[in-house]
Amino acid sequence: MSRWLTWRHPWSRVGDLLCVLVLGACVLAAVWPGVFTSLHPLGVHPAQAFLPPQWGHLFGTDESGRDVFTRVIYGTRTSLRIGAVATAIGMSLAVVLGFVSAFAGKVSDFLASRLVEVLFAFPGLVLALLFVALAGPGVWPATIAVGLATAPGYARIIRGQALIAARSGYARQSVLLGQRPAARLWHHLLPNTLWPVLSLVTLGIGQAIVWAAALSYLGVGAVPPAPEWGAMLNAGRTYMDTAWWMTFFPGAAVVVVAAAATALGRSLQQRSRK
Amino acid sequence: MGEPLTTPVPRGGRSSAPGWRRWPVLRRLLVRLAGAVGVLWAVVTLVFFALRAVPGDPAEAIMGGPGSQASQAALDRVREEYALNRPLLVQYLLQLRRTVTGQWGDSYSLNRPVVSLIREQIGGTLLLAVLALILAWTLALLFAAWSVRSPLGARLSSGLEIAASAMPHFWLGALLIMVFSTGLGWLPAISTGSADALILPVITLAVPVAGFLGQVMRESLLNADASPFALTARAHGLSETGVLLRHTLAHAALPALSLTGWAFGSLMSGAVVVENVFARPGLGRLLMGAVLKRDMPLVTGVVLVIAIVYVLVTLIADTLEGLFLPEAAA
Amino acid sequence: MQFSHRTFLTRALPGAAAALAAALLLSGCSGSTGTSSNSSPVRGGTLVYATGDAEPDCLDPHVGGNYPQALLSSQYLEPLVGRTSSGKIVPRLAKSWKVSSDGKTVDFTLRSGVTFTDGTALTANVVKANIEHLQNPDTKSSTGYLAVTKVSSVEAVSTHHARFHLSSPDSALLESLAQPWNAIESAKALTRSQKENCESPVGTGPFKVTSWKNQQSVTLVRNPNYRPASASYGTGVANLSKIVWRFIPDSSTRYAALKSGEVDVIDNPQPSTVASALKGGSITAVQAPRPGSSNRLELNMSKAPFNDKRVREAFVKAAVVNPGITSLFSGTVKRSYSPLSSVEPLAYSNSSLFKTSLSKARKLLDEAGWKTGSDGIRTKDGQRLTVTLPVSTNQSIPAEQSLFEQIQASVKKVGFEVKIEPLDLSSWYSALAKNAYDAVSAPYTKIGPDVLRILYASDGTVPAPSGYFANHAQIKDASLDSVLQEASTSLNTAQRNAAVKKAQQTVLNAYAILPLYDQQNNFLVGSRVHGFRIDHAVSTPSFAAAWVNR
């Protein structure tokens, strides 16, 4: 394969290990946050507001004297869930639409493509705003809204990849060999379509968290004072010039998780090709 | 306009197809136009029913929202005037007729014709979106090219892309204002009518999209770079830059090109936030306010206009894509 | 009890003196408001004002009637009377007035020689047309309309003599007429379509509207025929030739634009930026408390759990407010213990009712039959002790939302579960209309103690057809109603004052509200600006005498 891979190889194990560690820690934090901190994410101490990072408050404290580190840890569950569920919703819709579009004939392709376009033609945020106006603000409506808003993007890519996979030598060979379409779909087209978009999925998790944060900025996202990275990022923006730590750490959490997930996704992808 | 838009290129066995089928580009265009009308119809329908399902009385929204203390008589009069007392289906058909005939009505909340509001606000948003799209594409291409050329570049650009796409607009915007406007005093924080006021909003809008586009483009760039034809080209003595320019980039551009529609939608969403942060007038802010005030004519009008622009953008992107890879287009 | 905390900060005051000024400000010292300068005014120049309040839907404050309209319209419209920081009613378009002995007729003598910017003259018939405009249902007036409900007709006795006939005596009439929502517009202009009048209302103020770019700005130019009623309203024609009134919703951006000099004055700044401006530097902070109600949580008495006074008292006793006010607002606001804003001379405070005591709160809840459940939240008959608190994200600034979170955390200690629901304005109104709230914060700006009648009289619980009502605590108390009626109609000052005090005591003693802090306008003024003042009617900025360095 490419020079890039050969060069990367000695490092990839260390890198992968790091990614696994980061993601493992995230899952642990999501399941059992008490392992990392003994403080309460909603513990209000007005007298200790706006403390900069220090021993005892590694990430400082927020406007109500809550420990930012503790809130980031407890926020893992909500944020990962938003990211994962929204991406799952978006992807499931996209796989169906993308495959229908790619394989179910011209008419279906036309209809599915138009459906994707209808979703596309709605700016995602507007779709989300309308949905939240219908369902009320909160984590779940925001999650579903973000899922819906991201689906058409994935659908497009999946359709493209599926067409490429269908045109590949293997696929043509399998047609020549008389393999049943379902088998071809399952053994060949699905994996060959999904592997290349795996890193998109992992990147999408970070994106979904960011979109949910935008909904918080517009006042329709996670309900306070629930610790959620996007909501924390938004709340901290108000105090950006006096208390940078309130936005820096939740922001870093989004980026680190997105990065670890993406890097791992890519590594898996590369192994599958060998 | 019976003339074909481009000279038909014979491809494989297709050249023997009879009649108008010989003009695939034209045919595709016609089908696409029909599809576009369908998309616009679906958008109007979706907006109509979504806004009707949202809690709140439309008559009240017309009278200035629930805080306005409108009298029962006034509400009844409004219901009569706007046909709100007719069955929903009738209202829907009336809405369709108004949309088709171009009678988009007056905004409930701003008491001005929807058409003139949109005409006033669309320029700023389109300018912002187009500049951001160009910047995003440029950044994404640079990053992608860099990662193919050097292993270090691959790692760095990958990291940068991930960070970029994980950056919320409102946060990035506030950061840029803090550094370049309040801190260094180089650029204005708000729209002042001069060109330099566009710089920060365009960067804010472009960076997250660039991260995502770059990510996609690099995937296909690396694939293309390792593909047989690139190896062949190298074997024939073509330089690395030559391979990059002649083969790899062209192939890498394809999936990214099919994302242009997505990027445009994403930019429109971003515009809602960016226009708010930088106090710029525009469709995004207009739409946000209209949704919050349940301003049906304005929401319908703005969404429809965005959809029309989107349809045009994808039509162009698809046509280009069709030139690269005819099988991918419908 | 102090009546006012005006600042007399001047730009010239450096460090220590500014700190002293801030101290005086906090101790409630009264003085002339705004920035001043020794150098002589510069004529001409453009001032850019950036507001964080919503962009009005209509520039005519008769229509609807909200605070963003008041801010803007007080630049181009004048009311019949004005109000000073101490609450005194002073002449503006009317130079004098007289209330009849039965209180049912009020005669206004108008200033002569006042012309509107469309060239028409101010006459009694114009006043009549304005009151009729407010009372016409087609105008869709809310705030202005509510202030003139007792006016049955206006009679033009002579060119400059307008007689108001009232259905019953109204002790609040003059205060009502001082509001920007009841300002006088050109009668000729009012005959135009509402659409036209919304885009370019015509008044007598120091400036006039020339253009309005939606979502961007309203441009005001100097009115060459402006004639101030007194020195408090300018020295003559305004110095500034133009004001660009920009809408910048994001508070960080607003502040950045002020710091980089793109705008000259901003409102609704973050408390921390006010605090740092108060410490000195080139940016001056001007604080102006609004009249009317204090910022408070109203507890919904119409349904469980707050239909039980013990539960309300427990909530109030368990809510820890003071430390949050200190840290979140950086010392820029003061805790309130009154239903009224501290600028209201008749505001009555009682801090002893609001002393925090968790043990007392627990005892009260035990008495009321609420038992602590396994998760720490109390229950009674299978119902959890849940308090739903819808928050309007358009009206509550971030610091206030954080304060609610702190109250949520503190009352949780005694077993309350507060659910904070951030909502956009429409959803917030509909939550109120559906009675889907247990506590709510809804500040109301109106001049004078008459605001008590709007907020706490029984008929305030009856929703308008739109579902809106002002008595969010849903307090229904016949004796309170009669006290409020007395306060509203009594022409005897002592009697009125006693009734106003009694009404406030009743509201506080019923634990119908948890007062938080004064509604307050904050302005940050850049170093280029001189002579910035506050119009004390509802604490809007006044640029009648302002000027800018070139």
Q: pLDDT by residue (tens digit) across A50-68?
A: 888 998 898 989 888 899 9
On chain B, the residues whose CB falls within 8 A of the CB of C253 are: 174, 177, 189-190, 277-279
What contacts C302, CB < 8 A, 6 or more positions away? C435, C461, C474
The answer to whether C505 touches B105, Cβ cutoff 8 Å, is no
pLDDT given for residue C19 in this prediction: 38
pLDDT given for residue C389 in this prediction: 94
Q: Which of A157, A162, A153, A163 is nearest to A116 (CA)?
A: A153
pLDDT given for residue C142 in this prediction: 78
Nearest-neighbour CA in chain C from A222: distance (Å): 9
Does residue B126 sit at the A interface (CB-CB below 8 Å)?
no
Distance of CA C388 to the CA centre of its chain: 25
Neighbours of chain B (3+ CB pairs under 8 A): A, C
What ranges do the domains of chain A cover?
28-273
How does residue A128 score in pLDDT terms, banded at 50, 70 and 90? confident
**Mutation target among C250, C283, C394, C435 for the B interface, most CBs of B within 10 A:** C250
- Binary contact (B192, C198; C-beta < 8 A): no
Neighbours of chain C (3+ CB pairs under 8 A): A, B
**Mutation target among C260, C263, C266, C429 for the B interface, most CBs of B within 10 A:** C260
Nearest-neighbour CA in chain B from A138: distance (Å): 16
Give the mean model confidence (pLDDT) for residues A228-248. Answer: 83
pLDDT given for residue C75 in this prediction: 95
Domains along the sequence of chain C with CATH: 18-37+44-264+526-548 (3.40.190.10), 292-520 (3.10.105.10)
Does residue B162 sit at the A interface (CB-CB below 8 Å)?
yes
pLDDT given for residue C77 in this prediction: 96
Note the pLDDT tens digit of each residue in A168-223.
Answer: 766 667 667 777 767 767 777 777 777 767 766 776 777 787 787 788 777 677 77
- Chain B stretch 204-263, residues whose beta carbon is closer than 8 A to a beta carbon of chain C: none
Nearest-neighbour CA in chain A from C5: distance (Å): 25
Mean pLDDT by runs of 10 across the 330 residues of chain B is 36 44 70 82 86 74 63 74 81 87 81 87 89 90 78 78 81 84 79 79 90 77 68 68 66 68 79 85 85 82 87 78 55
Does residue A244 sit at the C interface (CB-CB below 8 Å)?
no
Nearest-neighbour CA in chain B from A114: distance (Å): 6
- Chain A stretch 187-216, residues whose beta carbon is closer than 8 A to a beta carbon of chain C: none
Question: What's the CATH number of domain A28-273, 1.10.3720.10, 3.90.950.20, 3.40.50.700, 3.20.20.20?
Answer: 1.10.3720.10
pLDDT above 50 (res A3): no
- Binary contact (C64, B185; C-beta < 8 A): no
User: What is the chain A residue with the closest CA to B41?
Assistant: A118
pLDDT given for residue C31 in this prediction: 35
Nearest-neighbour CA in chain A from B62: distance (Å): 17
Does residue A2 sit at the B interface (CB-CB below 8 Å)?
yes
Neighbours of chain A (3+ CB pairs under 8 A): B, C
On chain B, the residues whose CB falls within 8 A of the CB of A4 are: 147-148, 151, 154, 222
How does residue A146 score in pLDDT terms, banded at 50, 70 and 90? confident
Alpha helix positions (H), B150-227: 151-165, 169-176, 199-225
Give me the half-sphere count of Cα atoms (radius 13 Å) on the Cβ side of residue C462: 3
CB nearest to A217's CB, from B167, B170, B254: B170
- Binary contact (A121, B53; C-beta < 8 A): no
Model ipTM value: 0.78
| Cα radius of gyration (chain C) | 23
The answer to whether A69 touches C411, Cβ cutoff 8 Å, is no
Cα distance between residue C215 and residue C56, in whole Å: 10
- Binary contact (C252, B177; C-beta < 8 A): yes
Assign residue C87 a region: left if phi > 0, alpha if psi is -120 to 50, beta otherwise? left
Nearest-neighbour CA in chain B from C181: distance (Å): 14
Q: Which of B178, B134, B138 is nearest to B313 (CA)?
A: B134
Does residue B137 sit at the C interface (CB-CB below 8 Å)?
no
If you ran DSSP here, which 8-state letter would residue C446 be given? -
- Chain C stretch 203-262, residues whose beta carbon is closer than 8 A to a beta carbon of chain B: 213-216, 246-250, 252-257, 259-260, 262
Cα distance between residue B172 and residue A210, in whole Å: 12
What is the token pair recorded at C267?
């409102």
Cα B184 to Cα A140, B151, B180, C260, C524, distances in angstroms: 41, 35, 5, 9, 21
pLDDT above 90 (res A100): no
**Mutation target among A238, A239, A247 for the C interface, most CBs of C within 10 A:** A238
- Binary contact (B120, C257; C-beta < 8 A): no
**Mutation target among B54, B179, B190 for the C interface, most CBs of C within 10 A:** B190
Q: Are strands C265-267 and C46-51 parallel, antiparallel or unpaired?
A: parallel
Does residue B215 sit at the A interface (CB-CB below 8 Å)?
yes
On chain B, the residues whose CB falls within 8 A of the CB of C430 are: 55-56, 66
Does residue B50 sit at the C interface (CB-CB below 8 Å)?
no
On chain B, the residues whose CB falls within 8 A of the CB of A133 are: 54, 291-292, 294
In order along its 550 residues, chain C shows pLDDT tens digits of 333 332 222 233 333 333 333 433 433 333 334 455 556 888 889 999 999 888 888 899 998 888 889 999 999 999 999 998 888 899 999 999 999 999 899 999 999 999 999 999 999 999 999 999 999 878 878 788 888 889 999 999 999 999 999 999 988 899 999 999 999 999 999 999 988 999 999 999 999 999 998 888 999 999 999 999 998 898 889 999 999 999 988 888 888 889 888 899 999 888 888 888 888 788 999 988 888 889 999 999 999 899 999 999 999 999 999 988 888 888 888 899 999 988 888 999 998 999 999 999 999 999 999 999 888 899 999 899 999 999 887 677 788 888 999 999 999 999 999 999 888 777 788 788 888 899 999 878 888 888 898 899 988 887 655 556 788 999 999 999 999 999 888 888 899 999 999 999 999 999 999 999 988 889 999 999 999 999 988 899 999 999 998 7
Q: Which of B181, B264, B193, B251 is nearest to B222 (CA)?
A: B251
Assign residue B315 a region: left if phi > 0, alpha if psi is -120 to 50, beta otherwise? alpha
**Angle of the B296-324 helix axis to the B114-149 helix axis, nearest 10:** 40
Output phi, psi for C86, to 5 deg. Answer: -90, 5
Cα distance between residue A110 and residue B243, in whole Å: 36
On chain B, the residues whose CB falls within 8 A of the CB of C59 are: none
**Mutation target among B33, B272, B316 for the A interface, most CBs of A within 10 A:** B272
On chain C, the residues whose CB falls within 8 A of the CB of A241 are: 252
- Binary contact (B70, C464; C-beta < 8 A): yes
The answer to whether C52 touches C246, Cβ cutoff 8 Å, is no
Task: For chain A, give the mean pLDDT.
Answer: 79
Give the predicted TM-score (pTM) of the model: 0.81
**Angle of the B169-176 helix axis to the B199-225 helix axis, nearest 10:** 120
pLDDT given for residue C17 in this prediction: 38
- Binary contact (C272, A224; C-beta < 8 A): no
